[in-house]
Structure 1
Amino acid sequence: MCTVEKRGRVYLITLTSAGEHRLGPALISALRSAVASVRASPGGGALVLAAEGKYFSNGFDQAWARTVPYQLHISMRGAFRGLVADLLALPMPTVAAVTGHAAAAGCVLALAHDSVVMRASRGFLYMSEVNAGLMMADFFGELLRQKVPDAAARRDMVLRGDKMTAAEGVRRGVVDAAVDGGVDDVVAAAVAAAEGLAARGWDGEVVAEIRKAMWPALWGKVKDYGADAAAARARL
């Protein structure tokens, strides 16, 4: 489902296969395990998350959700809330390499990183809930308030279901760089950006605490679901 490799001081997590990378329990668990392994590994200075194929992630696994009791929906959403918490608490800079479409929870996953590098020729950021007739989680809304600074762009994404291209994302201050070429070019650009951040030699724990302080409302909505909170409960 995902791989972890190290390129210089950068850890690269890649969602594998040419599928839609739907965020069901198995993929969320694999991602959280990958992030935990990066956190526990020595010598890492930054993280990049990328994906193979046409999609970065097309959101929650709705096909799975239609076949299981509602309680499992709640569990899946809690696990994804925990993944966002894990990224916010990660003691290193993070970069999303948006190599294709990033919709709904997939869009949230991309924007949960410190920086976003996006493919210029293909893919979009898309909050599909209004078109799909689905409620939006509270922390989705809080993350979008923090990560989409332009109020009109935020309205258009959430209440109109508009799809944001890389060029529009750069113009609106949501995307840091739009990269020409294919998936490999986007990943290479994201790794280069992450390597530049790693070279700053920052204290990772300070980075994590500043991140939490910068987005306190978002952190407050996810912190009880993260790996740190789970470890603390286990010690009680």
Structure 2
Amino acid sequence: MTVQLEFRDQIAVLTLGDDENRFSPTRLDDIDAALDRALDEGAQALVSTGAGKFYSNGLDLDWLGANGDRLDWYVDRVHRLLARMLTLPIPTAAAVVGHAFGAGAMLAMAHDFRVMRTDRGFFCLPEVDILIPFTPGMAALLQAKFTPQTAVAAMTTGRRFGGPDALAFGIVDATAGEDEVTGAAVDLLRPLHGKDRGTLGAIKTTMFGPAARVLTGQQ
């Protein structure tokens, strides 16, 4: 299953796929194309989700293993998606239906809101355990969203947060049962219809501009 986009009323629902939903260059292009379509077709809000037991496991390590000479290009490409979601001029929510690891967890954090499954799946930033330091852009994104206490707990320990744990740490805004996560994320955004894109985009750019500029190499 490839990236898909459907509309529930005027809320665009972007499905990342039904496997581990890792960020291959092709999937990154497909996500960007879906975001373009959502904006072009007048979406009032956007939910991203997965169709299987993963939200996203992040970087495509198999692709990187075969294309090591393109590491810098690839990381920059992931950074650009994170920056775009962070400042998207419509309300956004990540429906974390299952595991969200590494850059997949970062994509969830780049949304305005997050809903996570109560009984299954982990939110995890495993970089400390897999010997991959955060890039300055990724660290800036996470620190723009986490409290200092949560940043230490999530970024320096490799801890796996289940839904209730993630809620207690303020990583997610709500939890929901199996098969209810995406619907709960859609419902969370329904009251936010009608926000002016220019105004909301400007507010997000002001709020998260420093992180977005580090992600896109402008600082």
What is the TM-score normalised by the length of structure 1?
A: 0.87
Q: Hey, what does 2:162 align to over in structure 1?
A: 165
Percent identity of equivalent pairs:
29
Q: Which one of the candidate residues 121, 125, 129 is aligned to 1:123?
A: 121
Q: In 2, distance between residues paired with 1:224 and 1:154?
A: 22
For 2:213, what is the secondary structure of its paired residue?
A: helix
- In the TM superposition, residue 223 of structure 1 has moved relative to its aligned partner by 4.5
Greater mean alpha carbon deviation, residues 56-65 or residues 84-93: 84-93
Residues 1:46 and 2:41 aligned together: no
Q: In 2, distance between residues paired with 1:118 and 1:139?
A: 24
The Cα RMSD (Å) is: 1.5
Q: Please say if residues 89 and 204 of structure 2, whose CA atoms lie closer than 8 Å, have aligned partners that are also in contact.
A: no
Listed as ranges, the gaps of 5+ residues in structure 1 are 226-236
Q: Please say if residues 96 and 115 of structure 1, whose CA atoms lie closer than 8 Å, have aligned partners that are also in contact.
A: yes
For 1:106, what is the secondary structure of its paired residue?
A: helix
Q: In 2, distance between residues paired with 1:89 and 1:178?
A: 24
For 1:86, what is the secondary structure of its paired residue?
A: helix
Q: Hey, what does 2:13 align to over in structure 1?
A: 12
For 1:220, what is the secondary structure of its paired residue?
A: helix
Residues 1:185 and 2:180 aligned together: yes
Residues 1:107 and 2:105 aligned together: yes
Listed as ranges, the gaps of 5+ residues in structure 2 are none
Q: In the alignment, residue 35 of structure 1 is paired with which amino acid? A: L
Q: In the alignment, residue 153 of structure 1 is paired with which amino acid? A: T
Q: In 1, distance between residues paired with 2:25 and 2:210?
A: 25
Number of aligned pairs?
217
Q: Please say if residues 56 and 100 of structure 1, whose CA atoms lie closer than 8 Å, have aligned partners that are also in contact.
A: yes
Q: In 2, distance between residues paired with 1:222 and 1:212?
A: 13
Q: Please say if residues 46 and 93 of structure 1, whose CA atoms lie closer than 8 Å, have aligned partners that are also in contact.
A: yes
Q: Please say if residues 138 and 215 of structure 2, whose CA atoms lie closer than 8 Å, have aligned partners that are also in contact.
A: no
Q: Which one of the candidate residues 143, 149, 171 is aligned to 1:174?
A: 171
- In the TM superposition, residue 54 of structure 1 has moved relative to its aligned partner by 1.0
- In the TM superposition, residue 85 of structure 1 has moved relative to its aligned partner by 2.2
For 1:169, what is the secondary structure of its paired residue?
A: helix
Q: In 1, distance between residues paired with 2:199 and 2:72?
A: 32
Q: In the alignment, residue 198 of structure 2 is paired with which amino acid? A: E
- In the TM superposition, residue 217 of structure 1 has moved relative to its aligned partner by 1.5
Q: Please say if residues 10 and 45 of structure 1, whose CA atoms lie closer than 8 Å, have aligned partners that are also in contact.
A: yes
Q: In 1, distance between residues paired with 2:117 and 2:190?
A: 19
Residues 1:210 and 2:184 aligned together: no
